[in-house]
Amino acid sequence: MSGIRLGIGVGVMGILLPVMLFMLLDLSSPAQFFTLSASLLLTWGVIDVLSGILERPRLKGRSPQQALKEDWERRSAE
């Protein structure tokens, strides 16, 4: 993960989006803001890790479902 990508992700998913949702949902306590911010950052992190896995050359040109099916068939043939 590059520094620019990390900075933009933390800025958007950890600060801007939680502030916007905090105001739109009319929340009031700091604990609610930090919970919202932490959950959005965690979600972004998991999605980023999963997208990195799907970018591997082993999966290029194949859908994840097709890759799982081929791996399952290869392992059952052994």
* pTM metric for this prediction: 0.62
Low-confidence ranges of the chain (pLDDT < 50): none
* Domain count for the chain: 1
Residue 7 has what pLDDT? 85
Residue 1 has what pLDDT? 57
Q: Which residues have a Cβ under 8 Å from the Cβ of 22 and sit 6 or more positions away?
A: 32, 33, 36
Residue 67 has what pLDDT? 79
**Distance (Å, whole) CA 1 – CA 21:** 26
DSSP 51-73: HHHHTSGGGTTS-HHHHHHHHHH
Residue 8 has what pLDDT? 85
Residue 58 has what pLDDT? 66
Q: Which domain holds residue 29?
A: 3-77
